[in-house]
Amino acid sequence: MICLTSCNVTIDGQGTNINIYYADRNHEFRPLIDGGKLFIASDKFQYIKDDHKVHDIPLCSVDRVTLRHGNSNTALCVIDNYYGLNCADIPRNTTHNSTTPTTVSTTSVATTPVPTTITTTSTTAPTTEESIDTTVPNIPTTEETTTATTTTFIPSTTKVTVASTSTTQTASTSTTFKPTTSSRLPDLPEIDCNHPITPLFELFCNLTMGTVTVTPGNLESVINKTIKAYKPLSDDKNSLFAVAVIFHNCSQLTDMSHNSFEAMSRLLDHAIDTDSNVFTATNTPMYSVSNRLSSGLFSMLVNAPPNATYLTGNNLALHVHALDCTQNDAGGISIGADDTFKLTHRQDELSSIAINAQSACSAGATRVHYTIYRNSKLFLGTSDNDTSNGVISSNTYDNGLVGSTTKSDGFEKPCHHGFYEVNGMVLAATAVANVTEDVKVIHKAADVNQTMVKMRFKRNNIGVALHGKLKVTFWETDNRRWSQNTCNVKKDGKYYVSECTHLTDFTLIVDGTAKDPALCSETLSIINDVIVIGSIIALTSLSAIYLIIFVAPKKSKQTVLAPLINFAPPGADGDPFLLIQALLLMAFFYIFCIFSDSTAYINRKDVCIAIAVMEYWLLMGTSVLAVFQAWRTAKLFTANMAVERVLSLITKPLPMYLSVFLVPSLLTVIFWLVSNGDFFWRHDGFCWIRSDYIIPAVIIPMTFLICNAVACFGLFTKRMFPQFSTRIIRGQSSITINNKATDAKERLARLFISQFTLGVPWVLQYFALFAPTTTAWHYCFAILNGSQGIVFLVAFIFRGISARRQQNSLWRQRHAVRLASLAAHGKDNGNKNNANESD
């Protein structure tokens, strides 16, 4: 293992007695080696213990160490960057009351995990120097402290730069602090190397204590024993830590064979089988398992033989491809339609990643590395960020088709606008170039705007972003977070395609919310509740009126209920059509507007699915009934006898009401079977149908409903206003418009009220599907859809008032005629009397 952050050594000279400590991000310290004499070899630091044997100092090599000379009692600070540690000098005496300040020098070289002699660089821009925060924690001091000079030993052939920021960070600073009387040391994983209790711990101790050294000859044996000894189903953090350390140690072996590469890949794949909760629990400076494994994988790929491949894993696939610039061949890796890893690129692949060979060659790359992770267990945030990696994880992802790419299940704040994980899959690509003994890691092309990598995701395997936009984000190694800078995603036939101008680890996310914005906005909820309550009251009243009219005795209809009968449309007392329509709409409103929010009333998937099924059936039933209502009205305007006969036949009670039941039931069953039952499960807190079926399931039926109403309106215009038509064909229709003009106009009005108020809101809802926040479309849908019952009641009242006015007008006309008749009759009688008198 390598000390990636430079370390400080305060020594009196060779043979100095030393203790070795490390410091974590919490400014706490832990002794690594107790006692020993320092021995400086040509290429590394070693120490001699009581056994008179020379031992390597773990985690450090001479090309990453800064020496500081002085005459104080001293110790060696060894920094393990994979712990996420800071560099500090730790004196041997840990309990002293001295108040003399101590000056500590620190030098930061790089933060990107790379093996020995690896250079990470970028061709995007000239490097610049940055000031680095090197605040050193309060640590115990010795009785005597002195100022020391600093000498840095870094071979001239070693070049370390920070690739991700395109800058070279080589700042040196000093910080003066007051000593403290004590320092609390954090516990290491509880692995007793004096008495290892498991074969895995025995392997760990043999490697870390130097009893066993990994060589090309025994690497496969060590790996196979580790795989056999480790049980992924165990929740033991120390076991996973031991595996991570063994894997990382083995990954440093250069000139790795194909068999060794395959064995190392199997070990990593085996380790990732561990439950994600265990990975989260080991995401601490003490364990740092995910960081150890990911940095070890990087070293393994660098040390891998040409064209090394691992495609048989459960959790990841690896491929090292020799770049052929003459053929512009950079290879690639994919997951095929059968859900297995492949190197080929076919039209049926589920996802893939491929480097642009021309761009990689322009930057001097000689080979490329590909990795596909089926999950993001290795991509965890730092403790400084409360383990957050910048993406809200979805642990409820189901393979296959999903209703939306974001799911609100289990989220504490599903209304939060952020990055939401789609399926957890991570696609990684790296380009490297061999420069003498170093390895240069390439992130960008010579032209910074040139595409470096292309990713594809099959659309029907991903679904749609219901409340946001699909984007591709990339992993920031230094910050241990998914970047807020993203690569755009566009549709290309059956695929989502994303192209980025740099190389790293990528994952598909949704930039939006997990829950429907309509359920997150308090203002919209209040408006919707007020309108819906009004509609439910209105529809309940209408249903009661139609029920009374339909079931009341005939005598009551002619006496007590006569005023109410006059308000109702003609035939309402003998035809249950309007009653059924009001009842279906009332039931839909009651269920859709009150029980559709699963987080408010229900938390069970099966209950939410049952509610969605009822909602969809009621909506389709109401829609079918509205279509038949239009056809019943069309009979009054048709000019063709054959069409009239067909409309009269299909609008009879039996076929009409049978269709109202069968059509919604058939649609429900079809969509259920096609989606394997997922059609009614959205994962976003909304008990309604899946978003990726919204067009065939709702938009098309509602569009047909609106077009049907428009056709009836055109037929009405042609018959009632012939001046708008160039030709009028009356045919042999048995219906006389003049005799039923008033009734026809009323039917047409009811047609528009029922069909447009029912269909238009659902067409408008389509435009609100992909918004992460509430928009004007959400308000339009809530107001128009929620007010249907109120509109129906207003239309009923308006129709009754109009009918009453019409009756009054007719009564006045008849009265006037009778008065005129009486007056005329009186005049005739007067004329007769006058004639008689004249005689």
Residue 190, pLDDT > 60, answer: yes
Q: Supply the pLDDT for residue 168.
A: 31
pLDDT digits (tens, 9 = 90+) for 90-107: 333 333 333 333 333 333
How far is the C-alpha of 295 from the C-alpha of 114, rounded, in Å?
7
Give the Cα separation of 439 and 298 in Å (integer): 12
The closest of 634, 536, 614 to 582, measured between CA atoms, is 536
Q: What is the pLDDT of residue 682?
A: 78
Q: Indicate the pTM of the whole model.
A: 0.65
**Dist. CA 357–CA 154, nearest whole Å:** 35
Unique residue bearing structure tokens 């050193």:
136
The crossing angle, in degrees rounded to 10, of helices 741-765 and 700-720 is 150
Least confident span in 52-61, 504-513, 728-737: 728-737
pLDDT tens sequence across 203-252: 999 988 888 899 999 999 999 999 999 999 988 999 999 999 999 999 99
The amino acid present at 379, given as its one-letter code, is F
Q: Dmax of the chain from CA atoms?
A: 166
In 302-373, DSSP assigns E strands to 309-310, 316-322, 333-335, 341-342, 351-355, 367-373
Domain boundaries, the chain: 1-116+125-179, 199-305, 318-515, 518-804
3-state secondary structure of 827: helix
Q: Tell me the C-alpha distance between 546 and 541, whole Å.
A: 9
Average pLDDT value for the chain = 73
> Quick one: pLDDT at residue 408?
47
| The pLDDT of residue 525 | 86
Question: How far is it, in rounded angstroms, from Cα 788 to Cα 782?
Answer: 10
Residue type, 391: V
Sheet with 37-40, strands from edge to edge, namely: 37-40, 45-48, 54-56
What interhelical angle do 605-634 and 741-765 show, nearest 10? 150
Summarised one tens digit per residue, pLDDT across range 307-339 is 999 999 999 999 999 998 988 899 999 999 999
* pLDDT tens by residue, 630-685: 888 788 777 778 888 898 999 999 999 999 999 999 999 999 998 887 888 877 77
Q: Strand 7-11 and strand 65-69: pairing? A: parallel
Q: DSSP class of residue 446?
A: S
**R_g of the chain computed on alpha carbons:** 40
What count of residues does the chain have? 839
CA distances (Å), 101 to each of 71, 173, 338, in order? 16, 16, 66
Q: Are 502 and 513 in contact (CB under 8 A)?
A: no
Share of the chain above pLDDT 70, in %: 66
- Structural contact between residues 251 and 214, judged by C-beta atoms closer than 8 angstroms: no
Q: Which of 21-30, 116-125, 469-478 has the highest mean pLDDT?
A: 469-478
pLDDT of 431: 94
Q: Which CATH class is domain 518-804?
A: mainly alpha
Structure tokens at 820: 């005129």
Query: Residues of 724-752 as b/e, b for ≥16 C-beta within 10 angstroms?
Result: eeeeeeeeebebeeeeeeeebebbbbbbb
- Residues pairing with 176 in the sheet: 103
